[in-house]
Amino acid sequence: MADTKLTNLLAASTLVDTDLLLAATDIGTTPVSKKITVANARAALVGTTTVPGIWQNVPYVAGNYFAAGGTTPTWTVDSGDQQTYAYTQIGKTVMLSLAVATSSVGGSGPTSLRVTLPAGILPARLFLVLCRIQEGATDVVGRMYVFTGQNWIYIEKLTGAAFAAATNTTLVQGSITFEMQ
């Protein structure tokens, strides 16, 4: 009950440092009055200074995107190509959404596109979901996954086939939920 009330308080848009009087039924038999700062309350609740459940946009950084497999693989994502890269964290659960449009793939036979995870997040185990890949006008079913202790998202064709070399015609869209370490 106390966590729910504190979470609702922290999610309010007009937060200020305040004295909180927590009801006896929430924490024990004696009401307690304590000075608490918003930042300390957020950190105590989920181990972070971001409000739980509030989506955080990941700023564009070209180095967050790369390719692997094949010969001299490249994945070029320009700032306008990153339509959505955002996440939210509730406790140790991370929900992440990614949409990249009009990106370019180069080299010979790259089999994996990868995106660096934000904020030093490391997955606790393997989590895998299906995602959308589009090469030119062709939609392809893909898989998006995170792997234990690895700081990136893997994006691959479900068939395992290589990505075609293309300029400004590769699209990737997907969302994944996973447990962090």
Residues 105-153: tens digit of each pLDDT: 999 999 999 999 999 999 999 999 999 999 999 999 999 999 999 999 9
Between 33 and 155, whose confidence is greater?
155
Q: What is the CATH number of domain 56-179?
A: 2.60.40
Coil, strand or helix: which one is 91?
Answer: coil
Q: Please, where in the chain does CATH 2.60.40 lie?
A: 56-179
161: which residues sit within 8 A by CB, 6+ positions away? 111
pLDDT(93) > 70: yes
- Tens digits of per-residue pLDDT, 69-83? 999 999 999 999 999
Q: What is the mean pLDDT of residues 57-67?
A: 98
Q: Tell if the pTM clears 0.85, that is, is over it.
A: no
Please report the pLDDT score of residue 51 as a whole number. Answer: 81
pLDDT band per the 50, 70, 90 thresholds, residue 23: very low
